[in-house]
Chain A
Amino acid sequence: MNAPEGDVPSRLSHAEIEALLGSYALDAVDGPEAEAVELHLLECPRCRAEVAQHREVAALLGNVGTPAPDRLWDRIAASLEEAPPDLRLAAVPEPRRGPKAIRGRLRVGLAATAAAAAVVIGLLAFQVNRLDNRVNNLAQATPEHGLSQVATAAVLDPQARRVDLRSPQGNQSVQGVVLPNGNGYLVKVDLRPLPARQTYQLWAVTGSRQVSLGVLGADPQQTAFSLGSPSGVGTLVVTVEPAGGVTSTTNPAVVSGVLS
């Protein structure tokens, strides 16, 4: 295929797309051709899988670089307007190293630009910003009788958004629904019971904020919560905390899920 840029047939054949996949994964396909590949990927799982494999190699290539100057990290840290948040989110492994240790391992070079992302492991904390102090005890706030019916009604509400929170290994899970008015219900809770000195705590992650939605207790069952304005909320997360809950946390997510 030798069409100059801007003159790409709107439909490339499967074979033509396939031939582009390696280059595409290296960001070496441009313009309408790149868009044609992307459209194709939406509907072709086989090509998606191949690109994923090429991307893995491309990401590994990013490791081949030279160390970045120490000042780079300092400047990045300084440009973030708030103190680094301290909640580590999401189903990802524990950081292996602190920022100090990482600093020496930063890599750059244009080759390279990419490679500098080596620091990421320590930066998972970046996923979270400020923490609100809205810790409350939902179990007390909600009359226990009647919750099941309300929760069931919420599940059946066609406007309810679902959220499926899962642990990295998939052995613990929580299913919830959120109504348009912001009322939410954890309708099926499958979390390992904790010792009495600990509690589960539910958090909402909005684009720029982290808010506690409540303390769930050591052996949570169906629970109600309120998101306030649900539109911006993307992810719900449950952590394990000392009994009584905390206003901020350094603990990893036990389960997490994205609102559908």
Chain B
Amino acid sequence: MSAAEEVIQEVFIRLWHRPEKFDPERGSLRSFLLAQAHGRAVDLLRAESSRRRREEREARSTATSGYDLEHEVWDLTVADHVKEALSGLPDEERRAIELAYFGGHTYREVAVLLDQPEGTVKSRIRAGLKRMRSKLADSGVAGP
């Protein structure tokens, strides 16, 4: 079984056993699971020590902040809008976000990979996410 499949399986089984970890008040189950799966996937890629720290943090607070997506009907068109918003970013912002999110790298690693200062990478990730959000809000995919 691939690592990706293991992560998905683990996330679903965790929800099965600990349904109270999901708080509907904080947003959709979908975005909750997406965030969980991403966090788990990133853990797999990183050192044991970082996984342990995450688990300790999760044990301290059941709900991490910020799953505030409105409950929405999700559709294939969402993926199209997201791809479009991503490809519309300035190249350096898009690269930084791709390496961090899809590559599972820390911003420090992204800085090394792109041979750019860490501060620059941090700002590009943040600015790129804001830009994407505003585009996705225009197309009605993200909240205003």
| Chain A contact residues, CB within 8 Å of chain B | 1-2, 5, 19-23, 25-31, 34-35, 38, 41, 48, 51-64, 68-69, 72, 75-76, 79-80, 89-93, 96, 108-118, 120-121, 123-124, 126-129, 205, 207-208, 234-235, 256, 258
**Is there contact, CB below 8 Å, between B20 and A38?**
no
**Is there contact, CB below 8 Å, between A113 and B40?**
yes
**Is there contact, CB below 8 Å, between B24 and A116?**
no
Shortest C-beta distance, A7 to chain B (Å), equals: 12
Q: Across the two chains, which residue of chain A brings its CB closest to B102?
A: A111
Give CA–CA (A104, B34) in the complex, Å: 18
Q: Which residues of A contact B24 (CB under 8 A)?
A: 90-92, 256
Q: Which residues of B contact A22 (CB under 8 A)?
A: 122, 125-130
User: Which 10 residue pairs across A and B have the least CB separation, nearest first?
Assistant: A22-B126, A117-B33, A52-B66, A59-B31, A113-B41, A28-B100, A114-B38, A23-B107, A62-B34, A127-B19
If A2-B119, A23-B106, A52-B65 are given as contacts, then 17 extra A-B residue pairs at C-beta distance below 8 Å, sorted by A number, are A22-B128, A26-B101, A26-B125, A48-B66, A51-B65, A55-B31, A56-B69, A57-B129, A62-B34, A64-B79, A80-B13, A111-B102, A112-B102, A113-B37, A114-B41, A117-B36, A205-B19
**Is there contact, CB below 8 Å, between B30 and A56?**
no
Q: Which residues of B contact A60 (CB under 8 A)?
A: 78, 82, 132, 136, 141-142
Shortest C-beta distance, A195 to chain B (Å), equals: 28
Question: A55 is contacted by which of B25, B66, B73, B128 (Cβ under 8 Å)?
Answer: B66
Shortest C-beta distance, A128 to chain B (Å), equals: 7
Q: Which residues of B contact A62 (CB under 8 A)?
A: 34, 37-38
**Is there contact, CB below 8 Å, between A113 and B7?**
yes
**Is there contact, CB below 8 Å, between B108 and A110?**
no
Do most interface residues of chain A lie in helix, strand or loop, or is the interface mixed? helix
Q: Across the two chains, which residue of chain B brings its CB closest to A207?
A: B20
Q: Which residues of B contact A79 (CB under 8 A)?
A: 9, 13
Shortest C-beta distance, A24 to chain B (Å), equals: 9
Shortest C-beta distance, B137 to chain A (Å), equals: 10
Give CA–CA (A140, B29) in the complex, Å: 38
Give CA–CA (A154, B112) in the complex, Å: 61
Contact A56-B19, Cβ < 8 Å, known A1-B118, A28-B106, A114-B37 = no
Shortest C-beta distance, A30 to chain B (Å), equals: 5
**Is there contact, CB below 8 Å, between A28 and B125?**
yes
Question: B12 is contacted by which of A28, A41, A126 (Cβ under 8 Å)?
Answer: A126
**Is there contact, CB below 8 Å, between A114 and B34?**
yes
**Is there contact, CB below 8 Å, between A56 and B31?**
yes
Question: Which residues of chain B (10-69) have a CB below 8 Å from chain A?
Answer: 11-13, 15-20, 22-25, 28-42, 46, 50, 53, 57, 61, 64-69
Question: B4 is contacted by which of A35, A75, A116 (Cβ under 8 Å)?
Answer: A116
**Is there contact, CB below 8 Å, between A128 and B11?**
no
Give CA–CA (A208, B19) in the complex, Å: 8
Question: Is residue B88 contacting chain A, with contact meaning CB distance below 8 A?
Answer: no
**Is there contact, CB below 8 Å, between A64 and B82?**
yes
Give CA–CA (A191, B34) in the complex, Å: 34
Q: Which residues of B contact A28 (CB under 8 A)?
A: 42, 100-101, 105-107, 110, 125
Give CA–CA (A36, B132) in the complex, Å: 26
Question: A108 is contacted by which of B8, B16, B66, B68 (Cβ under 8 Å)?
Answer: B8
Shortest C-beta distance, B68 to chain A (Å), equals: 4
Q: Which residues of A contact B36 (CB under 8 A)?
A: 117
Shortest C-beta distance, B30 to chain A (Å), equals: 5
Give CA–CA (A93, B27) in the complex, Å: 11
Shortest C-beta distance, B29 to chain A (Å), equals: 5
Q: Across the two chains, which residue of chain A brings its CB closest to B100?
A: A28
**Is there contact, CB below 8 Å, between A121 and B35?**
no
